[in-house]
Structure 1
Amino acid sequence: MKNLKDILYKVSINQVFGSTDVAINQLVFDSRKVKKNDVFIAQKGVNVDGHLYVDKAISLGATVIICEKISFDKQEGITYIRVNDSNAALAIMAANFYDNPSAKFPVVGVTGTNGKTTIASLLYQLFNKAGYKVGLLSTVKILVDETEYKATHTTPDSITINHYLDLMLEEGVEYCFMEVSSHGIHQKRTEGLTFTGGIFTNLSHDHLDYHKTFSEYRDVKKEFFDNLPKSAFALTNIDDKNGNYMLQNTQAKKYSYALKTVADFKAKILEKQISGTLISIDGIEVWTKLIGVFNIYNLTAIIATAELLGLEKFEILRIVSELESVSGRFQYTISDDGVTAIVDYAHTPDALKNVLETINDIRTGNEQVITVVGCGGDRDKTKRPKMAHIASHLSNQAIFTSDNPRTEEPQSILDEMELGVSPENYKKTLTVLDRRQAIKTACKLAVNGDIILIAGKGHESYQEINGVRSHFNDLEEVSNCFNQLKNK
């Protein structure tokens, strides 16, 4: 049990009805999970307003209500606390509840449109190989040292974040790397956390269904750096046109990385192959298994972060040569017939363009590039024609198919994608509604030396249609196709 007064430290409070000197059990924002002596935080969600469930929470045993408005009858023996922002209050209370674990060991946040998962995951790999106990909070999974937990969001809710940070401390974890999404920042999930450092990757078209405008999306990302303490470092991709803007108002120590511009940490690509890349960083050559210019940016950020956290440069570069690609990020398999299939999470126009340009850069010119791609339902519709244009323009054959339609009609999504195909590219596009069949079609079209890109889902192990999730994994599907074709 905790004392409510202690949990409210640093929370901006407007009104209090009842006593704050009471023992409380847990913090809860889902009324269905409330138990005796819990604090219920009523949040205004995108689709649901938690204020509608205050009475239900009290009936289940909540003794404290945190809310932005009191539009209900107050009950005897219940403490009501009105705040300006329930999301921010929850985040600060969650940090207090777990005794502020982020302040007790280095926590580094990674934000940007693309590269968050790769950078956070490879930093986990690097520090793990250097002999440290490491934590990871990512889209793909949560790791507490080497124990894995399922991830449900890029940036989890505030209670979950602090729970795992606290667990990491219990298990002796020495460093934690976490993805920080624009949704997470906007919904104040990272409020109350103490970051040792922040990394900016890049900014391109994404999440405009949520943020409405690109400038709003950009400024939400910037908030993360605005809130870093003086003791932290802020590392930015100076080659990105928003790189300087992100650090404009930060109090943290500023550092930059780049491939093109003068920067504190600068890398140069010397040689590219399907098996990896030879780079030079600060005049030292190193081979990496990572492929593509976008991944060399990621790698440069990783090297810079490791140095800023005190690792020795030559040790960093030695480990960098051993790092494996992250699940669903330019992950490839080769069939017995010599067809290469690449699975990548590329679900934004910029990410898809980067992957296809990388493939075209390392191909000899005789191979066909066949791209299987779709767009998610109930998400930003404006990127659908852009994705289709890029796929059809940079591939020899583009197959449009379902991604996660969710509650939308799959054919409607594909119709919107097809609007982006220019007349000269129509002949090299196909529409195959069923994703499994689309992957099979790509495998049947491919011959020795050809390259199949299956984009959009990457590491995901499910497909969501009409709100129902079924097991589906792109790498498994293409591997099965290769095996079936081999056995014919």
Structure 2
Amino acid sequence: MKALKDILYKVKLNAVIGDTSLQVNTLAFDSRKISDGDVFIAIRGSVVDGHDYISKAIDNGAKAIVCEQTPADPKPDITYIEVENAHAALAIMASNYYNSPSKNLKLIGITGTNGKTTVSTLLYKLFKAAGYKVGLLSTVKVLVDNEEYSATHTTPDPLSINKYLALMNESGVEFCFMEVSSHGIHQKRTEGLHFTGGIFTNLSHDHLDYHKTFEEYRNVKKEFFDGLGKDAFALTNKDDKNGMFMLQNTKAKHYTYALKSFADYQGQILENSLEGLLLKINEQEVWAKLIGSFNAYNLLAIYGAADLLGLEKLEILQLLSNLKSVSGRFQYLVSDQKITAIVDYAHTPDALKNVLQTINDIRTKNETLITIVGCGGDRDKMKRPVMGNIAAKLSDKVIFTSDNPRTEDPDSIIQDIEKGVEPQDYKKTISITDRKQAIKTACQMAEKNDIVLIAGKGHETYQEIQGVKSDFNDFEIVKEELIKMNK
């Protein structure tokens, strides 16, 4: 039990009705999870408004209500706390409830359109290899040192974040690497957290179904850096046109990385092949098992962060050379027939372009590049024709297929993608709605030395159709199809 007034420390209050010295049990923003003595935080969501469930929360035992609008008929034995922003209040209260766990470790936030998962996961692996106890909050998984938990969002809700950080405190974790999404920033999920540093990877077209304009999307990302303290560092990709914009108002110390510009962490690609990258970082050469220029940027961000966190430069280079790609990020296999299959999470125009350009840079052009790509349903429709255009322009053959259609008609999504294909590329493309059949067809089309790229789902192990999730793993399916071809 904790005193409500202690949990409300630093929350911006508009009005208070009742006793804030009462002892409360736990916090919840779902009325169904409320039990006797709890605090209910009424959150306004895009679909559901928590204010509509205040009575239900009280019926379930809530003793205090945090809301943006106090009910017209407040109950006499209930404490009501009216706040400016319930999302921010929830995050600050969650941190207070778990005794500000982020202050007891070095928490690094990674944000940007692409590269968040790779940078955060590989930083986790690098610091583990260096002998530290480390935490990870990513799209793919949550790790409390060696203990793994499943991830449901890129940036979890504030109660989950602080619960995991508190577990990290208990486990003696010293460093934690956390993906910070634009949704998470906008919904104040990281409010109340103490970050030791922030990393900006890049910014391109994504999530415009949520943010409406690219400018809004960019400005939300910037809010994360605006909130960093003067004792933190801000490490940005100087080659990205929005990289320096992220640093404009931050109190944190500024650092940069780049391949094309002068930067604190200067990189140069010396070799680029399917075996990996030979990279020069600040005049020191390192061989890495990752592939492509986009991974060169990721490696620079990792090197810079590790240096700023106090690791020795030579040790960092040695550790970089042992890192392997993250599941679903340019994950590839070569069949007995010498067909190369690549699975990548590329689900934005920029990510798809990066992967295709990487493949085109390292291929001989004597082989055929077959790309399988789709777009998710109930998400940004504007990127669909753009991705269709990129896939057709940079591939020899393209199969448009279903991704996670969710509640949308998959054929309608494919038609949106097809609108971006230019007339000269029509003959390159076919459409197969069933994703498994699309993968099977691509394998049958491929001949010796050909390359099959399966883009969009990457690490995901499911496909969501009309609200139902079914087992589906691109990498396992393509591996199975190529094995069948051996027989």
TM-score (structure 1 length as normaliser): 0.99
> What is the match of residue 327 of structure 2?
327
Match of 2:457 in 1: 457
Deviations 1:44-78 (A, max 9, x none): 00111000000000000001000001234211210
State the SS of the aligned residue for 1:486. coil
Amino acid in structure 2 at the alignment position of 1:373 = V
Deviation at 1:105, TM superposition (A): 1.1
Q: Corresponding residue for 2:105?
A: 105
* Structure 1 residue identity aligned to 2:308: L
**Displacement after TM superposition at 1:273 (Å):** 1.0
**What's 1:244 paired with?**
244
Give a deviation string over 1:215-261, Cα, whole Å, max 9, x none: 00000000000000000000000000001100000000000000000
CA distance in structure 1 between the partners assigned to 2:366 and 2:80 by the alignment = 70
1:178-257 pair list within 5 angstroms:
178-257=178-257
> Which residue identity does 2:153 align to in structure 1?
H
1:411 corresponds in structure 2 to 411
Aligned residue number for residue 441 of structure 1: 441
Specify the alignment match of 1:270 in structure 2. Answer: 270
Determine the structure 2 residue equivalent to 1:153. 153
- The alignment status of 1:364 with 2:364, answered yes or no, reads yes
SS of corresponding position for 1:272: strand
Q: Distance in 1 between matches of 2:261 and 2:43?
A: 44
CA distance in 1, matches of 2:373, 2:31: 39
Give the AA of the match of 2:439: I
Extract unaligned runs of 5+ from structure 1.
none
Paired residue for 2:32? 32
Distance 2:191 2:59 in 1: 30
1:424 equivalent to 2:440? Answer no
> Paired residue for 1:479?
479
> Amino acid of the residue matched to residue 39 of structure 2?
V
How is 1:14-413 mapped onto 2 (pairs within 5 angstroms)? 14-413=14-413
**What letter corresponds to residue 192 of structure 1 in structure 2?**
G
Task: Report the secondary structure of 1:15's partner residue.
Answer: strand
Q: Give the distance between the partners of 1:410 and 1:273, measured in 2 at CA.
A: 35
Structure 2 distance, partners of 1:36, 1:72, is: 23
SS in 2 for 1:139: coil
Count of residue correspondences: 487
Which amino acid counterpart does residue 390 of structure 2 have in structure 1? I
State how far apart, in whole Å, the 2-side matches of 1:33 and 1:484 are.
48
How far off is 1:365 after superposition? Answer: 1.1
Distance 2:445 2:72 in 1: 63
Structure 1, residues 326-378: CA drift from partner, whole Å, max 9, x if none?
A: 01000001111000000000000000000000000000110110000000000
- Partners of 1:380 and 1:226 lie apart in 2 by 27
Whichever residue aligns with residue 446 of structure 2, its letter is A
Q: Deviations over 1:180-234 (max 9, x none)?
A: 0000000000000000000000000000000000000000000000000000000
Structure 2: 5+ residue stretches without partners: none
In structure 1, what residue type is equivalent to 2:447? V
Secondary structure class of the residue paired with 1:218: helix
Between the aligned partners of 1:103 and 1:25, the Cα distance in structure 2 is: 23
List, as ranges, runs of 4+ consecutive aligned residues in structure 1 with deviation greater than 3 Å.
none
Whole-angstrom distance in 1 between the partners of 2:38 and 2:445:
59
Paired with 1:38 and 1:368, the residues of 2 have a C-alpha distance of 61
Q: 1:290, 1:475 → 2: CA distance?
A: 18
Q: Distance in 2 between matches of 1:31 and 1:372?
A: 43
- Residue 275 of structure 1: CA displacement? 1.0
Distance 2:71 2:409 in 1: 39
Rounded to whole Å, the distance in 2 between the matches of 1:103 and 1:148 is 22
The one-letter code sitting in structure 1 at the alignment partner of 2:192 is G
Equivalents in 1 of 2:56, 2:183: separation in Å?
A: 28
Separation of aligned partners in 1, 2:411 and 2:365: 33
Give me the whole-angstrom Cα distance separating, in 1, the residues matched to 2:74 and 2:355. 57
Output the CA distance in 1 between the equivalents of 2:74 and 2:473: 50
Which letter maps to 1:171?
S
What is the CA–CA distance in structure 1 between the aligned matches of 2:157 and 2:275, rounded to whole Å?
38
Match for 2:114: what amino acid? N
The letter for the 2-side match of 1:189 is R
The Cα of 1:97 is off from its aligned counterpart by 0.3
- What's the Cα RMSD here? 0.5
| SS class of match (1:243) | coil
